[in-house]
Every structure is written in structure tokens, then in C-alpha cells.
Amino acid sequence: MVSALYTVSFVGIAVGLVLSGVGLVVAVRAWLRYRRARLVFQREVVMEVARLSARTSELERGVNDLGQRAADLPFKLAELQRSVAILQVLTVSLAVTLRQATSLLSYSSLKTLSATKLGKALGPIFENFSFTENPPRR
């Protein structure tokens, strides 16, 4: 009677351990998918901010050229000069904001670098496990 009780409790513990292991593998795979998706999204955002920063630099140069042309006109157009001055302030402010966003994103990407390395190292280990109905994507 006592050995049957031990056997039943051992089987229950073993089933619990197996289910915990399965849950662990599923959780690690989900975490790795989340990290990959976050990395892809962050990479796209960084590229877009860099592209916008380059375009803003072009815009700054164009506005500065426009300001020089307006100053070189034989007659002064106060409205044109005021508009150019406002445009210069706005482009400088946009450039500063984009530089801040770039530095923030580069700091954030440095922070996730170690997690990315861990995800790449552990990814192939859990790639062959399939506890869902969907086969793993390649």
C-alpha cells in the first residue's frame, strides 16, 4: 500500500516536471521570438530616423541657401525674410530632435546587444522543438 502511494506520488511529480519543462521551453521560445521581433522593429526605426536625419540636413542646407538668396535680393522682402527665419528655426529644431532620437536609439540598441547574442546562441537549440500545431518557420 505504501509503495503504491510512493509510485503514484512519483508519477505525479514526474508528470509535473515534464509539464514544467514543456512550459519552460515554450516560454523561452516565445521570449526569443519577442526579442527577434523587437530587434527587427528597432532596426527599422533606427534606419528611418537616420534617413530622416539626412533629409533634415538637406533641408537645412536648402533653407540656409534660401536665406542667403533672400538677403542678396536688391530689395528687402520682409515677409519672405520672416518666413525663411521661421523655417530655419523649425528645421534646426527638427534636426536636434532627430539627433536626440538617434542617440536614444543607439543607447537602447547597446542595451539589447547582450540579449540579442543570447537569443542567437539559444535559438538553434529550441528551433526543432514543436509543441504547437504550427511547424517551425524557416
Report the C-alpha gap between 10 and 13 in whole angstroms. Answer: 5
- What's the half-sphere exposure (Cβ side, CA atoms, 13 Å) at 5? 2
pLDDT single digits (tens) 81-120:
788 888 888 888 888 888 887 777 776 665 665 555 555 5
| Domain residue ranges of the chain, discontinuous segments joined by + | 36-126
CA distances from 95 to 62, 79, 86 (A): 14, 24, 14
Give this prediction's pTM: 0.46
Report the SS3 class of residue 136.
Answer: coil
Residue-level pLDDT at 19: 94
Predicted confidence at residue 122, as pLDDT, reads 53
Q: pLDDT value at position 88?
A: 86
- Mean pLDDT over 60-89 rounds to 79
- What are the pLDDT digits (tens) for 11-65? 999 999 999 999 999 999 999 999 999 888 888 888 888 888 888 888 888 888 8
Greater model confidence, 121 or 14: 14
Residues 30-34: contacts with CB under 8 Å, at least 24 apart: 32/119, 32/122, 32/123, 32/126
pLDDT at residue 92, rounded to an integer: 84
